[in-house]
Amino acid sequence: MSTQAPEAAQARVLAGRKVEQAGVLRGSGSRRARRRGAQVAGLVWLAPALFVLAVFVYWPLIENVAFSFLKWNIYNGEQTFVGLDNYANLASDPVFWRALGNNVWYAGLSIVFQVFGSLVLAAIVESLRNERWRKVFRGIYFIPSAISLTVAGLLFYFIYQPQTGLLNVFLQNLGLGQFSQAWLGRENTAIFAVIAMSQWQGFGYSVLLFSVALQRIPQELYEAAQLDGVGPVRRFFSLSAPLVREMTGLMVIVTISGAFQVFNEVMVMTSGGPNNASQVLGTWLYHAGFVTNDFGSAAAIGVAIFVITLVLAMAQLAYSRKRRVEW
Amino acid sequence: MNKIRTATAAGAGAMMLALSACSSGGTTQAADLSAKPDYSGNLSILTAGAGDPMSSYFENLVKDYEAQHAGVKITLTQETDDNAIKDKEKVLIGSQSLPDIYFSYAGNWGQNFADNGLAADLSSVIAPGTPWGSTFGVGSLDAFKYDGKYYGVPLYNDAKFMGYNKKIFSQLGLGVPKSFGELISDCSVIKKAGYTPIAFGNKDGWPGLHYLGQLLAYDVPASVRQSDLQPKTASYSDPGYVEGMKQFQQLVNSCTGDGSNSNGVAYTTAQQQQANGQAAMYYQELIEFDSVNTKGSELSKDGFGIFQLPAPDGAKGDAATLEAAPEGYMINNRSKNAALALDFLKFVTNQKNASTLSAPPYGQPSAVKGAVTPQNATPAVVDGTGMVNDAKSTVVWLDMANVPGVADAWVSASEGLVSGSLTPEAALKSVLQASQKAKP
Amino acid sequence: MVTLLRLGRGVRGAAVWALLLALLLVVLYPLVWMVGNALKTNAQVFNDPFGLPTSLLWPNFATAWNQGVGEFVLTSVSLTALATLATELISVWAAYGLTRVNIPLNRQLTVAVLAGLMLAPTVALVPLVKMFQGLGLYNTFLGLLCLYTAFRIPFTAFLMRAYMLDLPREVDEAAALDGASTAATFWRIILPMSTPIIAATVVLNVLQDWNEYLFAMVFTSGTGVETLPVGLADMMSKNGTQYPVVFAGMVMAALPMVILFFVCQRYFVRGLAGGVGK
């Protein structure tokens, strides 16, 4: 990997898309119009990507929709068309709704902590005068994001152990022993224990991103505000927060769509238990397909996830379009 | 560049997929077991013996067999005895490519092979009373009996026993409890002495399921249980179910260290608690004995004994039944070399190889009568094997006995009963619902 | 008044530092504890999980390595390396084709390449399993390689396209005037000019592939092709686990990415910022 990046290019990337050259886009468009028809050979550059995506991404997606109308017996390979039965079963399945609810909790809490909490934290870190400390905090907060979810999940399994776990020992030492419990083994706490782990893992990532966005705000604005006697709290609300609101908006959308795709952390820590209390859509799909052999229902859950993420992605797209105009 | 090769492979594969989909409907000739094996050709085998130390057992057998029969070439595939073997078999089923000999659990897992024509009917050679069949315990053979026919060759026995710390029991003046009630009252004595009465970790759901399986067998008459196992005839109306679940909850609350928090504990932690001498008892499988009662552990110094979970007084079901299930092998009904496959399995289960299997380092109690002896196995394994062989009847694990959807409902029920979020009545209702959903 | 203000600022400053340092502790303590437990005996992990290790059992690492972590690492390293290479090549070609070569249906093709960004891999799970069973790719290294490559392309191509749109048009035109072919322009001019974004996406893809769990779990079943995350989870759930050995395995799984992050922090930041900020 090359570490010698041309400084100009580096600056351009870090400066963001301020100089989004709409002209280039338009220019290439008009050139295309001028020489239409003669460049089919150029498609060779795209062929590998299109082929791989078609085979492994788009075709399975289409097939999944078809599968959701079938019931099949894995032992003799028989497939029967059952119409909307799988969807009807899903709608009457309380665990499906609980899983969806857990995804919503996941999204909501992640927005509070990973987006807004991290924004505040990033502003605090960036307000430190010493560049070395800023680096230390940003760097160390990020470490959990670099370790795999499996490792984090196994680690927190030990932290949540009822008798010997770090959390309960800590609570007992604080004299709060009455709150100690089997965090992953209780139906009303399991999903929140998983979400908490996920915040631990992910907040450093958001802090890093917000730091980058905050660094793009011209320093003069802060200096001017300071000269006017504006305190740090007001500086945050009147300057930092509004100026990074594009990043905030995008982070909200990215976080929500991530929350509806959650799988690993739940699988590693609880497999959706106890008594399916911590199932999310992803693990419930896995469970339907690979534990109870009901591939038709699994496909129907897949369609549900697809519809939800598609709507969120559209929102993201609309949002970034709007932003492009603003910039 | 490697993408191009992938592309070709993908294209070719897609065609194969289409072809196999078209041809899978056809009927195939059933395997011919009566033919004389001609000791030539290929034999493919899938075992659940991967991992250390088990993997060398089958490797050695294959070597020996090939040495005896020069014309035979055996392809051996091994997976570990957990989700790995289940996943592998699902894949092979899906692609209609099961090998000549393959591993199977007893219960519904094996029944699916039998019902869908994937396993050869071995009744003519292995039914009790036949020369080969007489070498096995009847219970082990019956575990693979479906619709009156015998489909499996049991390799080793597994069963659930309460393992106890002899030193703690004698210190407190306790004997082996004779009834479920006595066990519960012993728990309070042990608890007062500062020990965890029973180590229990139900994070995976199945440890609780094993208690339920045994208790329900005590509380619900066998014929009722049998009819409830089939979604077609299931009603789950016997009061014994609720009774058994109440007993389970009672045990969790008065005997375990973590009580209703046990869903947050892994079973390996429970094993460790007994090995360390902190817990007086731990309900475990026969094949776990040697990994709990390890050399040099506190438990091995204190002394390790076992007893069958005692039945409640006045239970309406079968008080003598033991939760036990062998694991074994089946012959592919479409195998072209069925006679040879049969010959190989007879070789695997001859007295010498059965005895090797039961001895360290493998320590898997062979289903062959007389293969487990004090000379080759640890005392607890010998005891347990004796109790399995003496059992008047056995009952298969709840999650293996039921169809997948219902088995899953039982796992959830086990967790809900432990945490107290499900009453026995509600748990039974969810099982019944799953069973109705699974109706063909 | 001034002193009061200064005092107030001092209190606030102290509170800020307390918060930052507390979070530092929340992040670091579990990680240090993980390393500490990797050096303990099994009995100490159970009886005194939060004490300092009374022993320094470095052999736990060797045991973990021999119990399969070595194989998991080998699988993960080769899978990550090959998948990243394949993703980068295919994506950089696609980005080049979309931005610097005149092709028909440019807009539609851009959508076709980038739309994959919206898809959750779980959605395609069931059909992919069926497809791979049919192709004989199930439980193979090649199968995982295809999946890892394919599902990272939209994101990688998206970042590269954005970057290439910004490269000045004149360079291609100058190259064309010199008689260079499209391919020559790509290899000699555009590819070298794109090193910063390539470096950033490489770091991101390595991080993703190294930690991937869903596909690795569903598409492999034991023996031979288990990646590190799946292998560790397996080790943890198997009968008679030695927990210190699992901790040692966890440390070995986490360390490479943490080191990579600190060495390539600059590219991380750029890649991450690019991933969300554009």
Bigger pLDDT: A267 vs B35: A267
Contacts of B291 in chain C (CB under 8 A): 239-240
Q: What is the pLDDT of residues B301-312, one digit of tens each?
A: 999 999 999 999
B150 vs B123: CA distance, rounded Å: 5
Listed in sequence order, the DSSP H helices in B324-397 are: 338-348, 351-358, 379-390
Residue A168 confidence (pLDDT): 85
Which chains share 3+ C-beta pairs under 8 angstroms with A?
A: B, C
* Residue B26: pLDDT band with limits 50, 70, 90: very low
Bigger pLDDT: A75 vs C24: C24
Residue range B42-60: mean pLDDT, rounded:
85
Across A35-44, B43-52, C132-141, least confident range: A35-44
Contacts of A157 in chain B (CB under 8 A): 266
Q: Does residue B93 belong to the interface with chain A, where contact is any CB pair within 8 Å?
A: yes
Tell me: pLDDT of A253 over 90.
Answer: no
* Residue A62: pLDDT band with limits 50, 70, 90: very high
Give the CB-side neighbour count of residue B192, counting CA atoms within 13 A: 7
Residue B54 confidence (pLDDT): 78
Interface test with B, best of A44, A86, A92, A275 (most B CBs within 10 A): A275
Instruction: Name which of C131, C135, C221 is nearest B84 (Cβ-Cβ).
Output: C221
Helix, strand or coil, per DSSP, at residue B160: strand
Distance from CA of A92 to the nearest CA of B (A): 12
Phi, psi at A210, each rounded to 5°: -65, -35
Residue C18 confidence (pLDDT): 92
Interface confidence, given as ipTM, is 0.86
Q: What are the residue ranges spanned by the domains of chain C?
A: 2-37, 69-277
| Other residues' Cβ atoms within 10 Å of the Cβ of residue C46 | 19
Contacts of A200 in chain C (CB under 8 A): 26-27, 30
Would you list which residues of chain C are within 8 Å, Cβ to Cβ, of chain B? 42-43, 46-47, 82, 86, 90, 130-131, 133-139, 142, 145-146, 149, 221-223, 237-241
Distance from CA of A326 to the nearest CA of B (A): 42
Residue range A291-300: mean pLDDT, rounded:
88
Distance from CA of C275 to the nearest CA of B (A): 26
Quick one: fold of A93-326?
MetI-like fold (1.10.3720)
Residue C7 confidence (pLDDT): 64
Contacts of B3 in chain C (CB under 8 A): 86, 90, 149
pLDDT above 70 covers a percentage of chain B that reads 91
Quick one: fold of B160-322+396-437?
D-Maltodextrin-Binding Protein; domain 2 (3.40.190)
Instruction: Name which of C90, C133, C142 is nearest B95 (Cβ-Cβ).
Output: C133
For the record, the structure tokens of C209 come out as 């592939």
Spatial CA neighbour of B209 closest among B418, B388, B385 = B418
Interface of A with C in 70-99 (CB under 8 A): none
Residue range A127-150: mean pLDDT, rounded:
88
Phi, psi at B282, each rounded to 5°: -155, 125
Distance from CA of B416 to the nearest CA of A (A): 5
Give the CB-side neighbour count of residue A65, counting CA atoms within 13 A: 6
Distance from CA of A110 to the nearest CA of C (A): 16
3-state secondary structure C46-110: HHCCCCCCCCCCCHHHHHHHHHHHHHHHHHHHHHHHHHHHHHHHHHHHHHHHHHHCCCCCHHHHH
How does strand B72-78 pair with strand B41-47? parallel
pLDDT above 90 covers a percentage of chain A that reads 36
Distance from CA of B303 to the nearest CA of C (A): 19
Q: What is the pLDDT of residues C62-78, one digit of tens each?
A: 888 888 888 899 999 99
Instruction: Name which of B112, B203, B257 is nearest A163 (Cβ-Cβ).
Output: B257
CB contact under 8 A, B291 and C43: no
Bigger pLDDT: A327 vs B152: B152
Tell me: pLDDT of C268 over 50.
Answer: yes
| Other residues' Cβ atoms within 10 Å of the Cβ of residue C111 | 10
Q: What is the pLDDT of residues B289-298, one digit of tens each?
A: 877 888 788 8
Q: What are the residue ranges spanned by the domains of chain B?
A: 29-158+325-395, 160-322+396-437
Residue B212 confidence (pLDDT): 97
Residue range C142-158: mean pLDDT, rounded:
93
Across B40-54, B116-130, C136-150, least confident range: B40-54
| B29-158+325-395 and B160-322+396-437 in the same fold | yes
Tell me: pLDDT of B423 over 90.
Answer: yes
* Residue B12: pLDDT band with limits 50, 70, 90: very low
Mean model confidence pLDDT for chain A: 82
Tell me: pLDDT of A279 over 90.
Answer: yes
Q: Does residue B263 belong to the interface with chain A, where contact is any CB pair within 8 Å?
A: yes
Residue C85 confidence (pLDDT): 97
* Residue A15: pLDDT band with limits 50, 70, 90: very low
Which chains share 3+ C-beta pairs under 8 angstroms with B?
A: A, C
Q: What is the pLDDT of residues B72-124, one digit of tens each?
A: 999 888 887 766 788 778 778 876 778 999 999 998 899 999 998 999 999 99
Residue A14 confidence (pLDDT): 34
Q: Does domain C69-277 have CATH number 3.40.605.10?
A: no
* Residue C44: pLDDT band with limits 50, 70, 90: confident
How does strand B101-105 pair with strand B149-150? unpaired
Taking the CA atoms of residue C8, residue C13, residue C16 and residue C20 in that order, the dihedral angle to the nearest 10 degrees is -160
Contacts of B286 in chain C (CB under 8 A): none
Options 3.40.190.10, 3.40.220.10, 3.40.50.2000, 3.40.190.100; which CATH number does B29-158+325-395 get?
3.40.190.10
**B328 has which bridge partners?**
B104, B154
Across A156-170, C17-31, C236-250, least confident range: C236-250
